Amino acid sequence: MSNEMTGSEILLRALVEQDVEVIFGYPGGAVLPIYDALFQQNSLRHVLVRQEAGAVHAAEGYARSTGKVGVVLVTSGPGATNAVTGLTDALMDSIPIVCLTGQVPTHLIGNDAFQEADTTGITRPCTKHNYLVKDIKDLSQVVHEAFYVAKSGRPGPVVIDLPKDILQGKGGYTAAPREPRKSYRPQVKGDIRQIETAVELIAKAKRPLFYCGGGVVNSGPRASQLLTEFVRMTGHPCTLTLMGLGAFPASDKQYLGMVGMHGTYEANLAMYNCDVMVNIGARFDDRVTGKLSEFSPNSKKIHVDIDPSSINKNVRADVPIVGDVGHVLEDMMKVWKARQYSPERKALGEWWKRIEEWRARDCLHYERNDKIIKPQYALECLRDRIIGREDAFITTEVGQHQMWAAQFLPFEKPNRWMTSGGLGTMGYGLPAAMGVQVAHPDALVIDVAGESSILMNIQEMSTLAQYRLPVKVFILNNEYMGMVRQWQELLHGGRYSESYMESLPDFVKLAEAFGAVGLRASKPSEVGDLIDEMLAVDKPVIADILVDKAENCFPMIPSGAAHNEMLLGPDDQAAKPISEEGMVLV
Amino acid sequence: MSTEDAAERHTIAVLVDNEPGILARVVGLFSGRGYNIECLTVSEVDHEKALSRITLVTAGTPMVIEQIKAQLNRLVPVVAVRDLTDEGNHVETELALVKVTGKGEHRVEALRIADIFGAKVDDTTLESFVFRLDGQTEKVDRFISLMRPLGLCEVARTGVVAISRGKESI
């Protein structure tokens, strides 16, 4: 047959049909045929990472900043196993990824062949779905279906395992089907009667609160717009989860800041005291709810989620609505307008008065110091220089710096904030920033990092150099795994078991070794100028900010505590012992 | 709080696309999320459409049972999930092969009880029987416990298969 192609060609053609522009990958024996096909075409760009974990996080950054599916290509065995952390990360944070893994030829599967791993077996629990292609006839349809599964409903990672003989075999190509797979059709429109019930509750609420999460971001920029309009229409307060930052403008007066373990005092007390909670695209994660039995004890809960398994998982919803938040918000606004609802102004006024009292506690306050750089101060300096810039994208690693970044940096728009929320993957931020920069070559992309996290995927500095990606790595260097140390202070008598980082590299020299620019600040007076210089350089930068080694991240709801038991600062810490129940929690 | 609710036993029928790894997906879901499986049966039921049916019996609080169903539904190859216990009226049965060895009075008594239970003798030697019995789990349990003092030596059970009563289908 004349229209026969090799498996690799079929694969690439399917990727092009799926609008793929960039692949993050690393070659190896099993995927050589794909790399050979890549070499002979110009539609797809390949970014060569330095380790497969970096490829998946880069694809996550790409996906989160564009709303498109991120694509990864790795070889069999270790290529696939190195991708597992990233896949799990994408599963937890609902990020659409298609990961192509090489596999030994079908006749060798199960033989413990060189670089063989049971990739579909290993990735089954850490993907939304996975495939092993055993017949070239299925290849193009599997790729099309994988993209559909990855991006529809609650997005997530999908693995396609590709035996080498399939890649080298010959077969025909079929275009993407119009009708998706029968057994997987996520519900997009919410039940209108439930929506009416919800809107009535919202309209009659005396102490309402919108609690919104990553689902709003995943639904697309329009969902954020609708959310903003609806919240303004109601005059209600709004808080966001770590995953939701940017879904509602941080500068809005109705915004209470982030909710949860390191969320603001006003957001958490509003959660505790509200009478109607409108959860839009958040999942009552344990970092948000704190002690479940005392979670927002007197509120009716409306829960909008595209994934039915998120509803009634941790917290019982009074009004469950399964659907895409964009569609549901649109319907909610229609109902609100059609029924000419107006907010309960008097009650709402009193509610806002209480909220303002909580807000007046200024929970993000910290002790200023003109000798030592406070990490919060460094972030304030950064904030002042990026505020109002629509092209500023922030990624983070995991730990104290991540929480401070979430607290102090301004997010006015969705898709500007990439952080590992669910899995808490140290080493996420640098490769994620790389993916963001690939998608937005002219944007300002900053990885707010800690000195420990950054070392987990530091090899990707080399990728930045190769592709001239001017990512700025902003390290809040306290020479500790700060969050580990903070918990050791809180729970383990200040015994800093293995949380001190000795023999750290000289980050300035390290930057230079990677062909980047290294900058350092050790005094508060130097921070502003350093950031100006960092932003002016058109190259990758590592900024090493030597911050207060002892600073801890507040406010904090200790594990196992309720929202009204927040610690506001180090003085609070000593007064309240943590329950044994709380000690067990992570 | 839901965690204080009592555990309930539910029989759930799951219609799935018959593709490699589907059973691993279902079983992995249960082990990964810490749910119980009391028993599980699986077989292809429609060769043309390549559909298999998994019947499983699980126990949990109402909130956990709801989660189990939602999580099963989330699997891409799962076509339908039915909670037969919630739907009320359904037929449930399982099959057991029970090997009993012995001589003399015990052997006679075993045969007599098998007859009462309507069990068939699928194999016999001068010193053993293999009985085949079907029925509800409780009936099979009772039969096995009666055989215990009479020389019970081996049991193979299929686990429950179930289907709703009436004209409605999955």
- Let me know: does A146 contact A87? Beta carbons within 8 Å: no
Contacts of residue B48, Cβ cutoff 8 Å, sequence gap at least 6 = none
Closest C-alpha to A151, from A71, A45, A245, A58? A71
Interface residue A142 vs chain B (CB under 8 A): no
Q: Give the minimum alpha-carbon distance from A263 to chain B in angstroms, rounded to a whole number.
A: 25
Closest C-alpha to A256, from A179, A363, A153? A363
Choice among A17, A21, A115, A565 that is catalytic: A115
> Is residue A556 over pLDDT 80?
yes
**A172-201: per-residue pLDDT in tens?**
999 999 988 889 999 999 999 999 999 999
Nearest Cβ partner for A183 among B66, B70, B78: B78
Q: Is A566 a catalytic residue?
A: no
Contact residues on chain A for B24, CB-CB shorter than 8 A: 121, 124
Disruptive mutation site among B17, B23, B76, B83 for chain A (greatest number of A CBs within 10 Å)? B76
**B96-127: per-residue pLDDT in tens?**
999 999 999 999 999 999 999 999 999 999 99
Cα A473 off chain centre by: 18
Contact residues on chain A for B67, CB-CB shorter than 8 A: 309, 312-313
Interface residue A46 vs chain B (CB under 8 A): no
pLDDT value, residue B4: 62
Gap between the terminal Cα atoms of chain A = 59
Q: Specify the range with the lowest mean pLDDT, choosing from A162-171, A386-395, A547-556, A576-585.
A: A576-585
pLDDT value, residue A575: 65
**B54-103: per-residue pLDDT in tens?**
999 999 999 999 999 999 999 999 999 999 999 988 999 999 999 999 99
User: DSSP for A499-567?
Assistant: -B--S---HHHHHHHTTSEEEEE-SHHHHHHHHHHHHH-SS-EEEEEEB-TT----SB--TT--GGG-B
pLDDT value, residue A180: 83
Disruptive mutation site among A109, A128, A183 for chain B (greatest number of B CBs within 10 Å)? A183
Nearest Cβ partner for A132 among B1, B20, B25: B20
**Share of residues in chain B with pLDDT > 70 (%):** 98
Residues constituting chain B:
170
Taking the CA atoms of residue A552, residue A555, residue A557 and residue A559 in that order, the dihedral angle to the nearest 10 degrees is: -10
Q: Average pLDDT of chain B?
A: 95
Q: Is A114 a catalytic residue?
A: yes
> Is residue A576 over pLDDT 90?
no
**A26-68: per-residue pLDDT in tens?**
999 999 999 999 999 999 999 999 999 999 999 999 999 999 9
Interface residue A311 vs chain B (CB under 8 A): yes
- Let me know: does A501 contact A544? Beta carbons within 8 Å: no
Mean pLDDT of A118-143: 98
- Let me know: does A359 contact A257? Beta carbons within 8 Å: no
> Is residue B129 over pLDDT 70?
yes
Single-letter code of the amino acid located at A391: D
Nearest Cβ partner for B73 among A129, A182, A308: A308
> Is residue A421 over pLDDT 50?
yes
Q: Give the minimum alpha-carbon distance from B57 to chain A in angstroms, rounded to a whole number.
A: 20
CA atoms within 13 A of residue A233's CA, in its CB half-sphere: 20
Mean pLDDT of A246-256: 98
Q: Give the minimum alpha-carbon distance from A408 to chain B in angstroms, rounded to a whole number.
A: 36
Q: Give the minimum alpha-carbon distance from A272 to chain B in angstroms, rounded to a whole number.
A: 17
Determine the Cα–Cα distance for residues A213 and B67; give it in Å rounded to an integer: 21
A350-356 contact pairs (CB < 8 A, 24+): A350/A206, A351/A206, A351/A207, A351/A208, A351/A237, A352/A237, A354/A273, A355/A237, A355/A256, A355/A266, A355/A269, A355/A270
Contact residues on chain A for B79, CB-CB shorter than 8 A: 182-183
**Share of residues in chain A with pLDDT > 70 (%):** 99
Choice among A9, A52, A145, A489 that is catalytic: A52
Place B170 in a pLDDT band, splitting at 50, 70 and 90: confident
Q: Are B71 and A309 an interchain contact pair (Cβ–Cβ within 8 Å)? A: yes
Q: Is A248 a catalytic residue?
A: no
- Let me know: does A241 contact A176? Beta carbons within 8 Å: no
Disruptive mutation site among B74, B75, B78 for chain A (greatest number of A CBs within 10 Å)? B74
Q: Which residue has the higher pLDDT, A584 or A319?
A: A319
Q: Is A284 a catalytic residue?
A: no
Place A574 in a pLDDT band, splitting at 50, 70 and 90: low
Q: Which residue has the higher pLDDT, A535 or B4?
A: A535
Q: Are A312 and B17 an interchain contact pair (Cβ–Cβ within 8 Å)? A: no
Determine the Cα–Cα distance for residues B163 and B13; give it in Å rounded to an integer: 8
**Share of residues in chain A with pLDDT > 90 (%):** 94
> Is residue A277 over pLDDT 90?
yes
Domains of chain B as residue ranges with CATH: 3-87 (3.30.70.260), 91-162 (3.30.70.1150)
Q: B52 — phi, psi (to 5°)?
A: -115, 160
pLDDT value, residue B2: 46
Cα A341 off chain centre by: 35
Count of Cβ atoms closer than 10 Å to residue B135 Cβ: 18
Q: Are B21 and A311 an interchain contact pair (Cβ–Cβ within 8 Å)? A: no
Q: Is A483 a catalytic residue?
A: yes
Choice among A68, A128, A164, A472 that is catalytic: A164
> Is residue A398 over pLDDT 90?
yes
Q: Are A132 and B21 an interchain contact pair (Cβ–Cβ within 8 Å)? A: yes
Q: A401 — phi, psi (to 5°)?
A: -60, -35
> Is residue A260 over pLDDT 70?
yes
Place A571 in a pLDDT band, splitting at 50, 70 and 90: confident
pTM given for the model? 0.96
Mean pLDDT of A222-236: 98
Q: Are A125 and B76 an interchain contact pair (Cβ–Cβ within 8 Å)? A: no
